[in-house]
């Protein structure tokens, strides 16, 4: 059996394989409520063999949405809207996870497929954003600096969102601390200029993220895996580097996190990234080596063979993919074929005629 299709157990949750769906915003919710679009979108990946399907960045408070069309889970009614989606993922043999998020100074922006770009004005449903310091992302509106009591409120919002997520049936909680959103903004010296206990040293800049991880772990108990997505580097002078992030990951491991999903960048517009196949894998490998914790790699991983090579080389324990699942929602079924896995044990029985080519002729 390939490593990619070996099951993995974390706490009380068993994943049928290690080829997972990375969270992807759909910008298709109404007032934070998910709908049939999200249901079909996420369930198809479970049919397609994913070991875990992580639902998109889901805001823990309304002001934490990237765009007004983002998903949310700041009330019990929002959690109810997720229930059928979670059930559909589980019924198809996969595990449902959710990425809990606050977009910080990159909130209240137009979705990528809107005609306009940048910040959404108040008269069009936008809001004032919040961040560690009153520094705007290039081209976006200036955020307000968060007070210490407001930080505590947002920690509590992550906690409450984790509770609602588990009540809705999610079995993995991923804390979004990457891509230039709120927690990443606190972690990086480029966006955090605070003089209080949330700014200055790396330990102080990590305080908010670690408080969130501790709150989530305390709320969900010992059975549920908690992941954190980090940007391993800011790809900009004076920003975070992978060793800083490995240190924060080690603290997060001690605070109750089980797996680090290692991405990069997204903090500043002047970032310089060299993008190519598997370009973020060395970051995952570094975090894995430094923390001894489980890690996931992500970023232009598009075939079973490529994913298997990453696992076999010990660079990460699981592989997340995003766009390849959009191109082929049955990516894992295809990858299993590539790696010589027995389709009878992996394809849904309803689809078995899809790989028995001679049967195609029969009606």
Ligand X SMILES: Cc1cc2nc3c(=O)[nH]c(=O)nc-3n(C[C@H](O)[C@H](O)[C@H](O)COP(=O)(O)O)c2cc1C
Q: Please answer whether residues 13 and 224 qualify as being in contact, where contact means their C-beta atoms are separated by less than 8 angstroms.
A: yes
Minimum distance, C-beta of residue 280 to ligand X, in the bound complex (Å): 8
Which residue, 44 or 99, has its beta carbon nearer to ligand X?
99
Q: How many Å apart are CA 293 and CA 83, to the nearest integer?
A: 30
294 binds ligand X (CB under 6 A): no
Query: Using CB under 6 A as the criterion, what x/- string covers residues 70-109 for binding ligand X?
Result: -----------------------------x----------
* Closer residue to ligand X (CB): 13 or 26: 26
| Beta pairing class for 130-131 and 226-231 | unpaired
**Which residue lies nearer to ligand X by CB, 25 or 187?**
25
Q: Could you say whether residue 206 binds ligand X (CB under 6 A)?
A: no
Stretch touching ligand X by CB under 6 A, among 146-154, 217-225, 293-301, 305-313: 293-301
- How do the residues of the chain divide into helix, strand and coil, expressed in percent and rounded to 5? 40, 15, 45
181 flagged as catalytic: yes
Candidates 298, 311, 335, 339; binder of ligand X (CB under 6 A) is 298
SS3 state at 310: helix
If one asks whether residue 323 binds ligand X (CB under 6 A), the answer comes out as yes
Among 18, 65, 184, 229, binds ligand X (CB under 6 A): 229
Cα gap 10→165, rounded to integer Å? 18
The least distance separating ligand X from the CB of residue 266, rounded to whole angstroms, comes to 9
Rounded distance between C-alpha atoms, residue 94 and residue 132, angstroms: 37
Quote the Cα angle for 246-252-255, to 5°: 155
Q: How far is Cα 197 from Cα 246, in angstroms, rounded to an integer? A: 21
Give the closest residue to 352 by CA, choosing from 338, 169, 340, 337: 337
Question: Counting contacts by CB under 6 A, is residue 282 touching ligand X?
Answer: no
Which stretch in 36-44, 89-97, 173-181, 287-295 sits in contact with ligand X by CB under 6 A? 173-181
Q: Is residue 300 within the footprint of ligand X (CB under 6 A)?
A: yes
User: Please, which residue, 269 or 352, has the CB nearer to ligand X?
Assistant: 269
Report d(CA 43, CA 329) in Å as an integer.
9
> x/- contact string, 131-170, with ligand X (CB under 6 A)?
----------------------------------------
Q: Residue 190: how many CA atoms within 13 Å on its side-chain side?
A: 25
Closest distance to ligand X from the beta carbon of 179 (Å): 6
Q: Say how many Å lie between the first and final Cα of the chain, rounded.
A: 33
172 binds ligand X (CB under 6 A): no
In contact, 257 and 292? CB cutoff 8 Å: no
Q: Find the part of the chain contacting ligand X (CB under 6 A) among 79-87, 130-138, 198-206, 294-302.
A: 294-302
Nearer to ligand X among residue 322 and residue 354 (C-beta):
322
260: nearest Cα among 211, 296, 232, 234: 296
Q: Of residues 104, 299, 304, 329, which one binds ligand X by CB under 6 A?
A: 299
Cα dihedral value 42, 45, 46, 48, nearest 10: 160
Asked if 324 touches ligand X (CB under 6 A), the answer is yes
> To the nearest whole angstrom, how small is the minimum distance from the Cβ of residue 57 to ligand X?
3
CB atoms within 10 A of CB 223: 11
Cβ atoms of 126 and 108 within 8 Å: the answer is yes
Least Å distance, CB 54 to ligand X, is 8
Of 129, 113, 130, whose CA–CA distance to 121 is shortest?
129
Closer by beta carbon to ligand X, 327 or else 344: 327
Residues that bind ligand X (CB under 6 A): 22-25, 56-57, 99, 176, 178-179, 229, 263, 298-301, 321-324
Which active-site residues does the annotation give?
A: 181
């Amino acid at each position: 059996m390939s490593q990619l299709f070996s099951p993995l157990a974390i706490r009380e949750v068993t994943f049928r394989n290690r080829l997972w769906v990375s969270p992807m915003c759909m910008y298709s919710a109404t007032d934070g409520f998910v709908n049939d679009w999200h249901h079909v979108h996420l369930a198809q990946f479970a049919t397609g063999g994913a070991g875990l399907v992580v639902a998109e960045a889901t805001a823990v408070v309304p002001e934490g949405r990237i765009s007004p069309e983002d998903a949310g889970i700041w009330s019990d009614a929002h959690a109810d809207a997720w229930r059928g989606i979670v059930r559909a993922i589980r019924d198809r043999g996969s595990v449902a996870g959710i990425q809990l998020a606050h977009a910080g100074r990159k909130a209240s922006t137009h979705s990528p497929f809107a005609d306009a770009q940048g910040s959404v004005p108040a008269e069009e449903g936008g809001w004032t954003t919040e961040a560690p310091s009153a520094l705007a992302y290039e081209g976006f509106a200036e955020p307000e600096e968060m007070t210490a009591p407001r930080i505590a409120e947002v920690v509590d919002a992550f906690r409450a969102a984790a509770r609602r997520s588990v009540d809705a049936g999610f079995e993995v909680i991923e804390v979004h601390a990457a891509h230039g959103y709120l927690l990443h903004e606190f972690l990086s010296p480029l966006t955090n200029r605070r003089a209080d206990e949330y700014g200055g040293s790396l330990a102080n800049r990590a305080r908010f993220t670690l408080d969130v991880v501790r709150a989530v772990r305390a709320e969900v108990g010992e059975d549920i895996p908690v992941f954190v997505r980090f940007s391993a580097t800011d790809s900009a002078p004076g920003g975070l580097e992978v060793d800083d992030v490995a240190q924060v990951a080690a603290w997060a491991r001690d605070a109750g996190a089980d797996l680090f999903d290692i991405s990069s960048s997204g903090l500043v517009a002047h970032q310089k990234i060299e993008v190519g196949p598997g370009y973020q894998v060395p970051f995952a490998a570094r975090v894995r080596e430094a923390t001894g914790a489980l890690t996931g790699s992500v970023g232009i991983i598009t075939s079973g063979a490529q994913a298997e090579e990453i696992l076999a080389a010990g660079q990460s324990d699981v592989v997340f993919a995003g766009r390849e699942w959009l191109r082929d929602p049955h990516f894992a079924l295809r990858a299993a074929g590539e790696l010589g896995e027995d389709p009878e044990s992996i394809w849904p029985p309803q689809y078995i005629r899809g790989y028995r080519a001679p049967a195609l002729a029969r009606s």
